Amino acid sequence: MTVRWEAPAPSDGFSITHYHLSSEPVISDLPKSVSTTGPITVADVNPCTSYVFTVRAYDANMHIASDPTSSEVFETSALVRTAVEGLSVTNVDPRTQSLSWKNASLSCPFFYRIQYWPDGFDQEKKVLIAHSSVTYTSVDSLKPETLYHYQIQAIASPGLIEGPMSTEVTMRTMSEKPNAPTKVTVEQTVNRDVGQINLTVRWEAPAPSDGFSITHYHLSSEPVISDLPKSVSTTGPITVADVNPCTSYVFTVRAYDANMHIASDPTSSEVFETSALVTNEIREQKQAQFRSTELKSWRQYKYEVQLISGDQYSKPSVIEDCTTAPEPVAPSYLSQLLQLGFNLTMPTVTGSTISLNLNLDALQTTDMENLTLRVQPKSELNGIPEVFSDNVPDAQSWEDRKRTGKGPWDILISTSRMRSVSQQTHSIVLGEPQCNTSEYCKSVPLYVMLALVNSCMLALVGLAALFFFRQPKQLPVATVNAPVENKPPEVITPIILDEPNIPVESFAVPIDEFPNYAQQCLEPNDKTLENQYAKIQAASAKNEANGILTKNDASSANNRALNRYKDILPFGSKVLTMDRKTVRFIATQAPLENTFGDFWKMVLDQDVSIIVMLTNLQEAGVTKAHQYWPPDERETKIYSSNGTDIAVTLRSEISEEDANTHRNSVCIVRKFSVVSAAESNVVTVTQLHFINWPDHGSPTVTDFEQLMKTFHQLQRNTKSGDKVTLVHCSAGVGRTGTFITADILLRCLKAGDRWVDIGGIVQNLRLCRMCMVQKSNQYEFLHQYMAKMIDESK
């Protein structure tokens, strides 16, 4: 440091002989007295220290000093002399590495700056900042099996003085899975004395995988051997006693790291067929049974028995024959067939008649005696019957019905004696001409059943699903609010043919005209979309009021505590039972704390690969969802469902930045490892959390477009396009319905559909779950979004 000052103005009678110097804090090498005005240089002062220097003029002849003059506070800059030492890297998991280093122990305030980059990409360095009090950190979201470079430096204040970079260290990330075992072999031992075949399975341990520690091995076989241990700690040999003779077996082995809950790829043996078994002991069995399978009903089959030993054949036995019994039509099949008939040829409903055009030729088999249709006014029923069985009142003719004025009547559709006129018998008009003035022949709600009678038994069959005039196209949507403890017996539910109600108009618009149509409808004073939405609301209310869609199960005393909102409940027929080949989405409420375990069990059972979350945990100070996942990365939480534990580990949490605009992300992507105690397979589940959607409102089109792009990118990355996606907001209807509708629209656009029918899609979704697309502004938003997607596709 160099100190200077100016001499004072002359003072009458005084003669300045020298100057006194001092500092705060004291600098030992600072001269206390000098004869000039400087400059005075002091070497090697303390860094990052505030100094004040004071100077007095002194007259040695009179021994009198002037008043002191002080400098302003001067702070020396920071000083970092040496590089940070001891930098080292270790692997934590396939996408995470841990760094540690020695404390820099600087006298000035400082922090650590860490830079890292994958091998060959030194122009794409990323930076981490660490506080001076820590000597370790972790780096996540790395690519597996990639070499990463690391350097660290200390940066001190004031002045943000950068110290020298540390020595560069490198470490390759782990592979995503441990190496698989090799050379799975099978040997057999035959003990003819006791009539037993034993199999011995061996394999070789996998090559070491950096970062993984194999704790045990998972074993399985096809077909299943109940005595085969599911988990062993060694590489064998594993002996399984008393397996089936002349059976082909395949054994599969996976290496497993229990600390990281990660299993290797499976390694399977070649197909091993056990030999035939002929015991040394001759046994006599007077009677044996053989159960044949996959026989056709109402057919005559012939049987003979022949003994074979080695290449020796006995004479065949006497031929016996037996005729199989007729098989009643299964309710589910009959429901499918009748439903398909209604979809292809819609009933014609007028003010006084209902015309049915039933194409049931698939039931015209040789073993069917009679096919009848049962009809009854809904007004005579005490609610919609859940199950029809043999105690249904005996059938009556139309003449009986006219005489009694009550009860169902049967209409003969077809008999084995009237095959030639089957098509004519399938066209039925209810309400004319025989009963134009009768109360029970007016356009009241009817339920329709089919009764199939054959020569051996009577099977009264209804339908397994409700009939609607519009079905969702190619998009079954299952909904869940409450778990079903016990699977109910197969029920037979009637088809409802309602009186002429509020007409459901088609809202379809040619795709080429849709952008202009949407622009006009979205004008402030235009009521088109408002009127459409009102009709959708009225039709939904009508379906519920008529008992077509019921919520009895969800509102029962046993299930009330499982519902987040008392006014948003699943329909009884739409609780999660579905065909995974056709279902694309599960729509559900945000799980409550008492259903976390059931939620994750559903994710595993239904093979869900992506969860789309469209709500924040808290919105405007109100709890909209409970956090059903671990709060910290690499943390594991255990949830329970019906006594089975499910472990959920948060592997990573990343904010997805818009690659085009580099805007702050509106999406958070979380990856979970999920494993059930009842199974050994670890499943990866991805959660896409959209954070910019106001409750009962709509997002911006730009934000929503980023959401949909991220969703489809995740489907491609995880190869889950054919798997089920679970979607939830808070109640699971408004934002959830809007998202699902948007995805349907995009797929229709991609498929080249020439019409856009947003209203029709919303109506179909509401047959699966109430209030889908809950608010009119969400309905308007879908038009705005679809118009932009069409413009961008041109």
Which of 461, 484, 506 is where one domain is finished?
461
186 and 266 belong to one structural domain: yes
| Cβ–Cβ < 8 Å for 770, 544 | yes
Enumerate helices (H) and strands (E) in the chain, giving the number of each. Answer: 10, 49
**Token pair of 123 as six digits:** 């122009």
Q: Return the beta strands (E) in 71-165 as ranges.
A: 74-75, 88-93, 96-100, 110-118, 126-131, 136-139, 147-156, 161-162
CA distance 449 to 372: 8
The confidence score (pLDDT) of residue 325 equals: 73
Q: What values do phi and psi take at 522, rounded to 5?
A: -90, 5
> SS3 of 463, please?
strand
- Asked if residues 646 and 685 have their Cβ atoms less than 8 Å apart, the reply is no
Per DSSP, the residues of 297-337 read TT-EEEE----EETTEEPPP---EEEEPPP-PPPHHHHHHH
pLDDT confidence bin for 677, thresholds 50/70/90: confident
DSSP annotation of 441: G
CATH of the domain at 352: 2.60.40
| Phi, psi dihedrals of residue 672, rounded to the nearest 5° | -120, 145
Cα three-residue angle 168-172-173, rounded to 5 degrees: 125
Q: Are residues 18 and 135 in the same domain?
A: no
Q: Encoding tokens for residue 201?
A: 């399975």
Q: Assess if residue 626 is contained within a domain.
A: no
Indicate the SS3 state at residue 593.
helix
Going by pLDDT thresholds of 50, 70 and 90, the confidence category of residue 436 is very low
Instruction: Residue 730: name the closest of 567, 537, 558 by CA.
Output: 567
- SS3 state of residue 405: coil
Nearest to 93 by CA among 170, 174, 158, 21: 174
| Domain assignment present for 535 | no
Would residue 786 count as lying in a domain? no
Phi first, then psi: give them for residue 605, nearest 5 degrees.
-65, -40
One domain for residues 656 and 714: yes
* CA separation for the pair 98, 137 (Å, rounded): 6
CATH number, domain with residue 238: 2.60.40.10
**Beta bridge partners of residue 112, listed in sequence order:** 130, 154
As given in the structure block, the two tokens for residue 455 are: 């020569």
Q: Is the alpha carbon torsion for 778, 783, 787, 790 positive or negative?
A: positive
Give the residue from 687, 709, 732 where a domain finishes.
732
Are 195 and 236 in a shared domain? Answer: yes
Three-state DSSP class for residue 777: helix
Query: What average pLDDT does range 453-470 have in this prediction?
Result: 26
* Max Cα-Cα span within the chain: 154
Closest to 589 (Cα-Cα) out of 632, 623, 640 = 623
Pair type for strands 446-454 and 495-497: antiparallel
- 241 and 200 Cβ atoms separated by less than 8 Å: no
Phi/psi for 668 (5° steps) reads: -120, 130
CA gap 114, 98 in Å, rounded: 12
How much of the chain exceeds pLDDT 70, in percent?
A: 73
* DSSP character string of 54-77: EEEEEETTTTEE---EEPPPEEPP
Instruction: List pLDDT tens digits, range 301-335.
Output: 788 776 664 444 556 778 888 887 766 655 555 65
Contacts of 684 (CB under 8 A, 6+ apart): 609, 651, 671, 672, 673, 674, 718
pLDDT at res. 336:
58
Mean pLDDT of the chain: 79
- CA 743 to CA 730: how far, in whole Å? 19
Alpha-carbon distances, residue 508 vs 545, 578, 779 (angstroms): 27, 29, 14
Residue 11 CA: distances (Å) to CA of 8, 213, 591: 8, 88, 89
Best mean pLDDT range from 56-65, 116-125, 370-379:
56-65
Cα–chain center distance at 144: 24
Are residues 707 and 587 part of one domain? yes
151-182 pLDDT tens trace: 999 998 888 889 999 999 999 998 889 999 99
pLDDT exceeds cutoff 90 at 219: yes
Residues 222 and 191 in one domain: yes
792 vs 786: CA distance, rounded Å: 10
Residue 472 lies in a domain: no
Interatomic CA distance for residues 42 and 1, integer angstroms: 5
Q: Are residues 584 and 721 in the same domain?
A: yes
Instruction: Assess whether pLDDT exceeds 50 at residue 442.
Output: no
196 shares its domain with 114: no
Q: How confident is the model at residue 521, as a pLDDT?
A: 95
Domain identity same for 192 and 161: no
The larger pLDDT score, comparing residue 429 to residue 273, is at 273
Flag whether 35 is in a domain: yes
Evaluate whether residue 209 is within a structural domain: yes
664 Cβ neighbours under 8 A, 6+ residues apart: 655, 657
CATH number at residue 720: 3.90.190.10
Q: Which domain holds residue 703?
A: 579-615+635-732
Which residue, of 461, 479, 507, is where some domain finishes? 461
Q: Tell me the percentage of the chain whose pLDDT exceeds 90.
A: 46
Q: How many CB atoms lie within 10 A of CB 390?
A: 7
CA atoms in the 13 A half-sphere facing the CB of 645:
6
In this structure, what token pair is assigned to residue 316?
Answer: 């065949």
Task: Evaluate if residue 214 carries a pLDDT over 60.
Answer: yes
C-alpha 297/C-alpha 328 separation (Å) is: 9
Length of the chain: 794
Domain count, the chain: 5
Nearest to 361 by CA among 422, 420, 449: 422
In a domain, 198, yes or no: yes
Q: Is 438's pLDDT higher than 90?
A: no
Among 271-285, 445-459, 754-768, the minimum mean pLDDT is found in 445-459
Distances (CA, A) of 402 to 377, 396, 409, 434, 744: 13, 10, 10, 10, 49
Please indicate, yes or no, if residue 756 is contained in any of the structural domains: no
Confidence at residue 352, expressed as pLDDT on a 0 to 100 scale: 54
In this predicted model, what pLDDT tens digit does every residue of 510-546 receive, in sequence order? 999 999 999 999 999 999 999 999 999 998 888 777 7
110 and 227 within one domain? no
**Same domain, yes or no: 226 and 342:** no
First to last CA, the chain: 71
Q: 391 exposed, middle or buried (CB, 10 Å; 0-12, 13-18, 19+)?
A: exposed
- Clarify whether residues 360 and 454 are in a common domain: yes
User: Whole-angstrom Cα distance, residue 750 to residue 511?
Assistant: 12
